């Protein structure tokens, strides 16, 4: 299996990317194609011992910045690591693409160069999130901020396949994010989507309020990309604020500091469970190829785990399975 | 000052309501009118010693359930504690209304019986939330799920008055919840609202991403009622899940349990800061009267603090100040 990795994407590229790739080839049975500035990549690779035949480099002299406008940058920078990397998937022997770069640009390039899979009209980004039970799959966290109801139905169907094949959940339950549990709740959009999901989505369990997202009540949690972004960012911000507050309070009391030290191993256990980088990146679903988006702040571990999740997607032929689920 | 309190609203009514009211008249200079079933109220009041002239009862024989449809229930139950209580505000000498009952019904009854204040087209519910600095005022958390841009502008203007008069923030900063910091982010709705806010809202600081809600970056945080509900419920759910996870981990290790005990006083300090019931209820703004909505699960302390915040609103003539801010 050969996975194409964007060496120039993310806040710590190419250093963190190359380190993650080295860890991946040491742990998993996979070949990597690093796309980006050859000199910069080789300089990083020189720090490691590794089987040379497992990594190849495809040189590009352009990279898209984290804050460049997505579609314009794809149109203007024909030779960017994102565009070149994604186009490789059209050639035989390249199985998937991983990038921690500009999310909008990855979505745009994937849509333009790979096209949509049969039966899906719009791309959606999923995210594996920790819950009180185990994991849930939240979709969409930002690709499509103004979807139509049928786009959410298609996302739900793709999410079921992802949860089943990659997360190993049998007959995954699907919930729709809404502001109340009754089917009459929400705006016209949620009401219409609810009806359509009842008809077309297997094991649809109804509305899920935002306070139930982390409860494990539902395996696949479907919402528009705006709401998904709000859920993820609210969670991130709240956890960061709570940690800051905790550190601030502990500093005020030596006894509390001792208490924190005694709790450390259990707290680390929770931290590990809550850490997104443990589960790899966020799969871009709906396009005609396996594309994984990693957080811009991805550490080498996050990159390694994104590659691990991508391997699992390829092994389970998820695109084929998704097309099958959607065509009924 | 005379504040009307819905004795029948909330999961623990009338018991928790009456207890909160007793605490309020003991601590603050206020008279209370309890609206609801006279017999049930008197039975609760019999448990306390208090100055009899500070509480009067207005009997009603109907109450609206927590899950009844809002507008229908207001139309059908003419004699409900919510309708009767809100109508009292039209008579001289009654300054405000507090309810922990059905939120939708309180919003509907307030809009119908009190009408909107000059210059405001739609009601909005605000909420004081804890931040790393001190507090922020989040508006709207659920009254208007499909607002127009000018409704958000009006909410922003009301929020500034609330933050200034009730929370004591000088020249409050206003942010718009969005999925990115640049003004080109979000859907057409956010872009239009951004422009309108730049023109019309004093001290508008631009977009606020959901991970910055608790950072203290902005004093007033404006969004539509759907998104506000998602932010609040995500936070509630995440905190509950984190607490469950923490208890689960602590049980696994006696050392961690000891650590938790040593940290207890500092953890309680954080808990107090994060506890909504410390700041009272959620003011319903935009209607022509002072209306405070408390959480359905309100404890006596939450009711007492809701009354405290309501007193502050009345003392600061916030309706007058809001009309003035909006008319420019």
Tokens of A207: 């509305």
List the beta bridge partners of residue A116.
A287
CA distances from A113 to A82, A105, A289 (A): 11, 12, 10
Question: What per-residue confidence (pLDDT) applies to B276?
Answer: 67
Phi, psi at B180, each rounded to 5°: -170, 165
Distances (CA, A) of B245 to A119, A134, A272, B232, B250: 40, 12, 12, 20, 9
CB B140 within 8 A of CB B147: yes
The pLDDT of residue B277 is above 70: no
* Residues A27 and A106 occupy one common structural domain: yes
CA dist., res. B103 & res. B122, Å (int): 15
- Which of residues B278, B299, B319 is at a domain's end? B278
pTM of the model: 0.93
Tokens at residue A38, please? 């050859």
Q: Is A229 found in the same domain as A153?
A: yes
Return the minimum-mean-pLDDT range out of A50-54, B45-49, B266-270. B266-270
The distance of A226 to chain B (nearest Cα, Å) reads: 7
Residue B236 C-alpha, separation from nearest chain A C-alpha, in angstroms: 6
Closest chain A residue to the Cα of B252, Cα to Cα:
A266
Task: Summarize the confidence of residues B21-31 as an average pLDDT.
Answer: 97
CATH number at residue B228: 3.40.718.10
In chain A, residues with a C-beta closer than 8 Å to the C-beta of B215 are 237, 241
Confidence check: pLDDT of B278 > 90: no
Which residues make Cβ contacts (< 8 Å) with residue B76, sequence separation at least 6? none
Report A:196-235 residues touching B (Cβ under 8 A): 209-215, 225-227, 229-235
Q: A-chain residues within 8 Å CB-CB of B102?
A: none
Asked if A242 and B184 come within 8 Å (Cβ–Cβ), the reply is: no
Q: How far is Cα A325 from Cα A158, in angstroms, rounded to an integer?
A: 8
* Closest alpha carbon to B223 in B212, B210, B214, B235: B210
Query: How many domains is chain A partitioned into structurally?
Result: 2
Residue numbers of the domain that contains A41: 1-120+286-328
Domain end (from A236, A253, A277): A277
For the segment B259-285, the average pLDDT, to the nearest whole number, is 81
A223 and A303 housed in the same domain = no
| Pair A62, A198 in one domain | no
* ipTM reported for the complex surpasses 0.95: no
Q: How far is A327 from chain B (nearest CA, A)?
A: 31
Q: Is there a single domain that holds both residue A103 and residue A212?
A: no
Residue B29 has pLDDT above 80, yes or no: yes
Q: In what order do the strands lie in the sheet with B31-36?
A: B55-59, B31-36, B2-6, B96-99, B290-293, B282-285, B124-130, B135-139, B220-222, B174-177, B204-208
Name the percent of chain B lying above pLDDT 70: 99
If one counts every other C-beta atom within 10 angstroms of the C-beta of residue B176, the result is 26
Q: Are B219 and B137 in contact (CB under 8 A)?
A: yes
Closest residue in A to B266 (Cα) is A249
Q: Give the C-alpha separation, A302 to A279, whole Å.
A: 8
CA A60 from centre of chain: 25
Please judge whether B242 and A242 are an interchain contact, meaning their C-beta atoms are less than 8 angstroms apart: yes
Same domain, A107 and A199: no
Question: What is the model's pLDDT at position B248?
Answer: 86
Instruction: Show Cβ contacts of residue A49 under 8 Å, excluding neighbours closer than 6 positions.
Output: none
Angstroms from B218 CA to nearest CA on chain A: 14
Asked if the bond preceding A14 is cis, omega within 30° of 0, the reply is yes
State whether B111 and B127 are in the same domain: no
Domain shared by A93 and A140, yes or no? no
Tens of pLDDT, residue by residue over B236-258, are: 999 888 888 888 888 888 888 88
Residue B142, chain A, CB below 8 Å: the answer is yes
Dihedral angle computed from the Cα positions of residues B148, B149, B150 and B155, in that order, rounded to the nearest 10 degrees: 100
Is A270–B132 a contact, with Cβ atoms under 8 angstroms apart? no
CA–CA separation, B99 vs B103, rounded Å? 8
Q: Do B231 and A234 touch (CB under 8 A)?
A: yes
B297 has a pLDDT exceeding 90: no
Model pLDDT, residue A70: 87
Distance, in Å, from the CA atom of A311 to the CA atom of A306, rounded to the nearest integer, reads 9
B242 touches chain A (CB under 8 A): yes
Q: Which of A132, A215, A233 sits opposite B211 (nearest CB)?
A: A233
B59 and B38 Cβ atoms separated by less than 8 Å: yes
Same domain for B196 and B104, yes or no, is no
Mutation pick from B103, B141, B207, B226 vs chain A, by most beta carbons of A within 10 Å, is B226
Three-state DSSP state, B103? helix
Cα dihedral B17, B21, B24, B28, rounded to 10, equals 140
For residue B75, is pLDDT > 70? Answer: yes
Per-residue pLDDT, averaged over B37-57, amounts to 96
Q: What is the CA radius of gyration of chain B?
A: 20
Together in a domain, B110 and B229? no
What's the whole-number average pLDDT of chain B?
93
Q: Does A20 touch chain B (CB under 8 A)?
A: no
Helix pair angle (A225-251, B254-274), 10° resolution: 110
Q: Are residues B146 and B175 in the same domain?
A: yes
Q: What is the 3-state secondary structure (H, E, C) of A235-266?
A: HHHHHHHHHHHHHHHHHCCHHHHHHHHHHHHH
Closest residue to B262, CB basis, from A69, A211, A255? A255
- In chain B, the percentage of residues whose pLDDT exceeds 90 is 79
Interface-testing mutation among A134, A143, A259, with chain B (most B C-beta atoms within 10 A):
A259
**pLDDT for residue B274 is more than 80:** no
Per-residue pLDDT of chain A (328 residues; tens, 9 = 90+): 999 999 999 999 999 999 999 999 999 999 999 999 999 999 999 999 999 999 999 999 999 998 888 888 999 999 999 999 999 999 999 999 999 999 999 999 999 999 999 999 999 999 999 998 889 999 999 999 999 999 999 999 999 999 999 999 999 999 999 999 888 889 999 999 999 999 999 999 999 999 999 999 999 999 999 999 999 999 999 988 888 888 888 888 888 888 888 888 888 877 777 776 677 789 999 999 999 999 888 899 999 999 999 999 999 999 999 999 999 7
Q: Which residues of A are less than 8 Å from B273 in CB distance?
A: 245
- Looking at the structure, tell me whether residues A252 and A300 fall in a common domain: no
Which chain B residues have a beta carbon less than 8 Å from that of A263? Answer: 250, 256, 259-260, 263
Question: Is there a cis peptide before residue A135, judged by omega within 30 degrees of 0?
Answer: no
Q: Which of A187, A191, A238, A296 to mutate to test the interface with B (most CBs of B within 10 A)?
A: A238
State the angle between helix axes of A225-251 and A254-274 in degrees (0 to 180), rounded to the nearest 10.
Answer: 160
Please identify among residues 253-282 of chain B the ones whose CB lies closer than 8 Å to any CB of chain A: 253, 255-256, 258-267, 269-270, 273-274
């Amino acid at each position: 299996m050969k996975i194409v990795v964007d060496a120039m994407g993310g806040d710590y590229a190419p250093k963190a990317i190359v380190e993650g790739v080295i860890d991946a080839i040491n742990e998993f049975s996979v070949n990597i194609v690093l796309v980006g500035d050859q000199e910069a990549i080789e300089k990083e690779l020189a720090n490691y011992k590794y089987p040379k035949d497992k990594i190849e480099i495809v040189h590009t002299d352009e990279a898209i910045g984290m804050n460049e406008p997505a579609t314009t940058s794809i149109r203007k920078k024909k030779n960017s690591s994102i565009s070149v990397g994604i186009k490789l998937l059209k050639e035989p022997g390249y199985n998937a693409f991983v990038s921690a770069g500009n999310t909008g640009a990855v979505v745009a390039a994937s849509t333009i160069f790979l096209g949509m899979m049969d039966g899906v009209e719009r791309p959606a980004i999923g995210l594996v999130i920790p819950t009180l039970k185990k994991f849930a799959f939240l979709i969409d966290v930002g690709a499509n901020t103004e979807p139509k109801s049928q786009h959410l139905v298609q996302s739900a169907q793709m999410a079921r396949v992802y949860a089943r094949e990659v997360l190993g959940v049998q007959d995954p339950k699907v919930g729709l994010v809404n502001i109340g549990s009754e089917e009459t709740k929400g705006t016209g959009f949620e009401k219409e989507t609810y009806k359509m999901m009842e008809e077309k989505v297997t094991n649809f369990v109804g509305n899920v309020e935002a306070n139930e997202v982390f409860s494990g009540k539902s395996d696949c949690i479907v919402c528009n990309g705006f709401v998904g972004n709000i859920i993820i960012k609210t969670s991130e911000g709240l956890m960061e604020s709570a940690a800051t507050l905790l550190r601030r309070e502990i500093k005020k009391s030596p006894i509390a500091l001792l208490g924190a030290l005694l709790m450390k191993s259990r707290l680390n256990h929770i931290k590990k469970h809550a850490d997104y980088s443990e589960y790899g990146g966020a799969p871009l679903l709906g396009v005609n190829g396996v594309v994984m988006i990693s957080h811009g702040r991805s550490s080498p571990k996050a990159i390694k785990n994104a590659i691990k999740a991508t391997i699992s997607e390829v092994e389970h032929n998820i695109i084929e399975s998704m097309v099958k689920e959607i065509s009924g």
